[in-house]
Structure 1
Amino acid sequence: MSTLEIRDLKVSIETDQGTKHILKGVDLTINEGEIHAVMGPNGSGKSTLAYTIAGHPRYTVEGGSITFDGQDVLAMSVDERARAGLFLAMQYPVEIPGVTVTNFLRTAKTAIDGEEPSIRHWGATVKDAMGKLRMDPSFAARNVNEGFSGGEKKRHEILQLELLKPKFAILDETDSGLDVDALKIVSEGVNRAHEETGLGVLLITHYTRILRYITPDFVHVFVDGKVAEEGGPELAERLEDEGYDRYLVAQA
């Protein structure tokens, strides 16, 4: 069983005002097949955790470790992390002008697997995956994220997830900006990947609405760069009723 293990992780970034310490000692273990929801108020460090795992150069790791099946993730380049089985669905996917969805997906699959997929089989696989996500076939000829709506960008992220078949997915506010129909479709895609491949999921969100469709095994509340409380799905239900005020008061 694959395991992503985070121990005493401390992370900072450089700002115009100087060094800002964001993560202040995070401990988190995600096993293959588990769904972990990370919740918390704005500025609590949730997205920093996601981008640090993925290897964003803006973030400086000042202490602690991230290991994936015993391998030192922090020693890996971004592409090595992807090939090892880590996947990040970004909160704000970037546009890539001049690169079609078709070419992007095929290039990514080749980079991950180390060999090109057969054109005939790959075309049928992509078409099937797009159909499940209710994506029009013409979408494949468009440039990546260029002119996409918020819902189209998020569906494209989940399309990548289903086609690249990582071991662990970090979903950074995938529910952000989605209407109810798009939220259901995106959630169905995540659940399919989880059920079919045993995908481990780190789901970052402010709100509980996506947790109505993707049921977490564990819920972690982030406040001021640390895990303030942990529990099961019932913790998310309590947050729906109570919000984060009691954690913020405790930090004051």
Structure 2
Amino acid sequence: MLKIENLSAEIDGKPILKGLTLSVAAGEVHAIMGPNGAGKSTLANVLGGKPGYEVTDGSVEFMGQDLLDLDPHERAAAGLFLGFQYPVEIPGVSNVQFLREALNAQRKVRGEEPLSGGEFLKLAKEKAGLLGMDMDMLKRHVNVGFSGGEKKRAEMVQMGILAPSLAVLDETDSGLDIDALRVVGEGINAIMRPQGGAADKGVLLITHYQRLLDVVKPDKVSVLADGRIVQTGGPELALRLEDEGYDAVMADEVV
């Protein structure tokens, strides 16, 4: 599904990613962990096509396409969703309005008919229910006056409505209390790993903490440090990081 080879990228002339190689298979949750400044958010932003990041080497293939050759809106229409560490506020635009326009824009690119207002509201109500949000919340302006937990829940509702093939989630657990983390984690499972499995979906989950991985159980865990992957293993690797810290794990660099 996603294949990254020898990816190098910089911002304002400063190298951040330095030959990163990583893959996410269909049906897989691949967690990325690493110390501050390692390049985790840069990786997410490069995949999403955020302006200001210059790719200097390497390649990214997504669903058989050259991802780096696509504009951000084309990446979204192709099935990539980027969840932000700090979701932005959009005053004057309701969540319902924003999400219906976004979904129908993607459907148009794919040659699909737009959803009517009624069809969209039915879908939005269903996906909001998975995250414990009511429709009154979705009628409010995008993230305006939302708590940290509400912003993350709203973002997961966006993911459910847009139904991506690959979700790149940048520290979705940031700022969440224990209850909100559980709800968001269970929402990720319901949307990207529904009962019976979802062989056509993948998740690249960037996190600092094991606690989210207790809910969204990863198939693989990789450690990103100094712009490259230095260790890859199973869920036990996250437990080792929790117990020993990054220094101990990075002392044994085996990808």
How do 1:56-205 and structure 2 match up within 5 A? 56-114=50-108, 115-196=113-194, 197-198=198-199, 199-205=201-207
Deviation of 1:54 after TM superposition, in Å, equals 0.5
| Deviation per residue, 1:145-182 (Å, 9 max, x gap) | 11111001100110011111100000000000001111
Distance 1:243 1:63 in 2: 30
Deviates more, 1:125-134 or 1:214-223: 125-134
How do 1:40-59 and structure 2 match up within 5 A? 40-59=34-53
Deviates more, 1:197-206 or 1:210-219: 197-206
Deviation of 1:138 after TM superposition, in Å, equals 1.1
Q: Is the 8 A contact 1:106 1:116 kept in 2?
A: no
CA RMSD between the two structures: 1.4
Deviation of 1:130 after TM superposition, in Å, equals 1.3
Between the aligned residues of both structures, percent identity stands at 52
Gaps in structure 1 of 5+ consecutive residues = none
Deviation of 1:70 after TM superposition, in Å, equals 2.2
Counterpart of 1:230, as a letter, is T
Q: Is the 8 A contact 2:130 2:190 kept in 1?
A: no
Counterpart of 1:65, as a letter, is S
Distance 1:42 1:243 in 2: 13
Counterpart of 1:215, as a letter, is K
| Deviation per residue, 1:184-211 (Å, 9 max, x gap) | 1111111012223442000000111100
Counterpart of 2:212, as a letter, is I
Q: Is the 8 A contact 2:230 2:250 kept in 1?
A: no
Distance 2:43 2:69 in 1: 16
Deviation of 1:225 after TM superposition, in Å, equals 0.6
Deviation of 1:118 after TM superposition, in Å, equals 2.1
TM-score normalised per structure 1:
0.94
Q: Is the 8 A contact 1:222 1:228 kept in 2?
A: yes
Deviates more, 1:221-230 or 1:197-206: 197-206
Q: Is the 8 A contact 1:100 1:141 kept in 2?
A: yes
Correspondent of 2:2 among 1, 4, 15 = 4
Deviation of 1:249 after TM superposition, in Å, equals 6.4
How do 1:211-222 and structure 2 match up within 5 A? 211-222=213-224
Deviation of 1:248 after TM superposition, in Å, equals 6.0
TM-score normalised per structure 2:
0.93
Q: Is the 8 A contact 2:241 2:249 kept in 1?
A: no
Distance 1:248 1:29 in 2: 20
Gaps in structure 2 of 5+ consecutive residues = none
Counterpart of 1:208, as a letter, is Q
Counterpart of 1:64, as a letter, is G
Query: Helix, strand or coil: the match of 2:19?
Result: strand
